[in-house]
Chains A and B, each alone.
Chain A
Amino acid sequence: MRVEVDPAPRPLKVVGAYALFVGLALVALGLLFRAYGVAPLEAYRVFLSVLGDPLGLAEVARRAIPLLLIGSGLALAFRVGFFNIGAEGQLLLGAVGATYAALFLPPGPWTLPLMFLLGGGLGGVWAGLAAWLRARFGASEILVTLMQNYLAYYLVVYLVAGPWKGRTAFGFLYTDPFPEAARLPVLPGTLVHWPTLLLGAVAALVLHVLLFRTPWGFEWRVLGENPLAAWYLGLDAGRLLLRVGLVSGALAGLAGVGEVAGIHHKLLEPAQVSLGYGFTAILVAWLARGGPGYVLLTAPLLGVVLAGGDALKLAFSMPFRVVDVTSGLLLLALIGAEAASRHRLVWRR
């Protein structure tokens, strides 16, 4: 018995593989819930309850905003073969940039644009650094961006506990509240900061067109699919990687701007700013199969996972790790199903 490449899997087989693997993931998740002491079916009911009412849906939308922004950038990056795992840190850097513009520059109508500019810029530079290290020294961007997450985390802790600590924040770790000019409008009664939502949707579409309809995108796709061919074509891989790094990092930075300008109105502890968006966005991008536009579908889907995880945490006082478990299992199910449908078992040697 051995495994062989299946060049043209039948659609039924593909659907079957996905159904099988997602089913297995759900069973595994149920077993974990049971081990934790919660009846699996009850847990699933609470998990899906966010789809049942307008407030729950607004939560899903709020969670989908950063996923849209980060996910579209990552879908592009993965397509080009730049495995940016550091969106978490780039988001935090974006929040830092936005906070600087909001608190330390004179407020005015220019404040919000400046926050987006500075936040996106910092996020871009942060990821660009990893791209440069890979192009120049061959350092694995997977590990570099991952380590940068920790660096960004400690930078934010340092800022909110040290120089940027708010005058009104007795004993708590956050900055002063942002002035009115530094706050994004939201849909009434919700936390859905719609300008960022719009920005995310536009980014997904623009990147999609860029990737599939322009010479730039062609170069990116060649580099991602066949680096050797890119070399023969005389493409400057280093420069292409740097551009992709900047774009995906900047989008993650913008997501960070949205979180502080639209929801918190201050910079606070890093774990409360990001809520695991960086990792979940990897799933969003992976599901989108390298098409930034498909993120418009996958980001809301994972928004349900995050909002459902929130509901679980509240209902059963579960630790935040429940989201890690859910996305880890889901990710395994998806890559497993994809791989299984591309291969077949042969019963001879």
Chain B
Amino acid sequence: MEEALLRAVLFGTPILLAGLGALLAERSGVVNLGVEGMMALAALTAFAAAQAYGPLPGVLAALGVGMLSGLFLGLFAVTLRANQFVAGLAVAALGLGASGLLGKRYEGLPLAHPLPEGGFALVGAVLALLVHLFLTRTRTGLFLRSAGENPKAVDLFGVSVDGVRYLALGLGGGLIGLAGAYLSLAYRPSWTDGMTAGLGWVAIALVILAAWHPLRALLGAYFFGLLFFLQFRLQGSVPIPSEAFAAMPYLLVILVLALSGRSRAPKALGQPFERGR
């Protein structure tokens, strides 16, 4: 039982970190479908930097790459006002592709000094609380939420909607970067192409499941983690093919989407802000 809970938390942590990242962007009105690729790129960066300079620089490098990739998405989704969904998908493909290409030389190498999973799990839980406090208790958080609900009001306040959305994408990208670092430095201290295994998409579904609330995201991520644990545990002991277990998380995401819909989404989600319209 304790083992189940522990594994649930450890497996839920990358989903939580990436989910918080996607959540920040969505609360500001920007859909970030690039999570999977951003996470893969951050995981590779973390691994490469940790090989060269040690684990902590690895984490910082992943943080930086995550933030930069978030701002890069912002270039298209915010400044150019391109279709956010398509821009996000392109960033996902680019991140997966670039990490697969550049990571070839790190494939299969062991990491000398892995980081403890528990440390990341603790950081993840604290960050969920911090994101919650940031959104509800700070002026910047208020502007961020307003940019997602009513960007016109933010604009009338003399605050730049684009700036707020960049901030959300940058901070969120940093969180997604941390999720990548967790994967390649702690959870499975190594680099393999495809090691994000769809967790980025699960994180996007988590945002919907959590109805865009950071603390609910905490519970939701651990719930997903528990289901993943049960999937591993049941594998082999019941007469169900292993492919069915492998497919489970994706089926789960579809179920979550069907059950929770998008009714509680921020009102301006997915809409580029055009002044005077």
Could you tell me which A residues sit within 8 Å of B by CB distance? 2-5, 32, 35-36, 83, 85, 133, 137-140, 142-144, 146-148, 150-151, 154-155, 157-158, 161-162, 279, 282, 286, 318-329, 331-332, 335-336, 338-340, 342-343
Q: Which of A35, A155, A319 contacts B100 (CB 8 A)?
A: A319
- Give the most central of B79, B85, B254: most A CB within 10 Å: B254
Q: Determine whether the beta carbon of B241 is less than 8 Å from that of A158.
A: yes
Q: Determine whether the beta carbon of A324 is less than 8 Å from that of B258.
A: no
Chain A residues within 8 Å of B93, by CB = 279, 324-325, 327-328, 331
Chain B residues within 8 Å of A332, by CB = 76, 87, 90-91, 94
- Give the most central of B37, B81, B95, B257: most A CB within 10 Å: B257
- Nearest CB on A from B154, distance (A): 14
Name the CB-closest residue of B to A132.
B258
Q: Which of A133, A321, A326, A336 contacts B254 (CB 8 A)?
A: A133
Tell me what chain B mostly uses at the interface: helix, strand, loop, or mixed: helix
- 1/0 per residue B50-88: CB within 8 Å of A? 000000000000000000000000011001111101110
Q: Which of A137, A321, A329, A343 contacts B81 (CB 8 A)?
A: A343
Q: Which of A4, A140, A146 contacts B275 (CB 8 A)?
A: A4
Q: Determine whether the beta carbon of B243 is less than 8 Å from that of A157.
A: yes
Q: Is B89 an interface residue (CB 8 A)?
A: yes
A143 to B261, CA, bound (A): 11
A68 to B237, CA, bound (A): 45
Q: Determine whether the beta carbon of A138 is less than 8 Å from that of B90.
A: no
Chain B residues within 8 Å of A154, by CB = 243-244, 246-247
Q: Determine whether the beta carbon of A339 is less than 8 Å from that of B94.
A: no
Q: Which of B75, B89, B205 contacts A331 (CB 8 A)?
A: B89
Q: Determine whether the beta carbon of B244 is less than 8 Å from that of A158.
A: yes
Could you tell me which B residues sit within 8 Å of A by CB distance? 33, 37, 75-76, 79-83, 85-87, 89-102, 104, 162, 193, 198, 201, 204-205, 208, 241, 243-244, 246-247, 250-251, 253-254, 257-259, 261-263, 274-275, 277
Q: Determine whether the beta carbon of A36 is less than 8 Å from that of B80.
A: no
Tell me what chain A mostly uses at the interface: helix, strand, loop, or mixed: helix
- Give the most central of B98, B198, B205, B246: most A CB within 10 Å: B98
Chain B residues within 8 Å of A279, by CB = 93
Name the CB-closest residue of B to A330.
B90
Given known contacts A328-B92, A328-B97, A340-B80, what 9 new A-B pairs fall within 8 Å (CB)?
A5-B277, A147-B250, A154-B243, A155-B247, A324-B93, A331-B90, A332-B94, A336-B76, A338-B82
Q: Determine whether the beta carbon of B90 is less than 8 Å from that of A328.
A: yes
Chain B residues within 8 Å of A322, by CB = 97, 101
Name the CB-closest residue of B to A163.
B241
Name the CB-closest residue of A to B242.
A158
A27 to B70, CA, bound (A): 21
Q: Determine whether the beta carbon of A138 is less than 8 Å from that of B100.
A: no
What are the 9 A-B residue pairs with the smallest beta carbon separation, nearest first? A324-B97, A321-B100, A328-B94, A325-B97, A328-B93, A138-B261, A158-B243, A139-B257, A331-B90
Name the CB-closest residue of B to A321.
B100
A282 to B92, CA, bound (A): 14
Q: Which of A133, A162, A325 contacts B241 (CB 8 A)?
A: A162
A324 to B193, CA, bound (A): 13
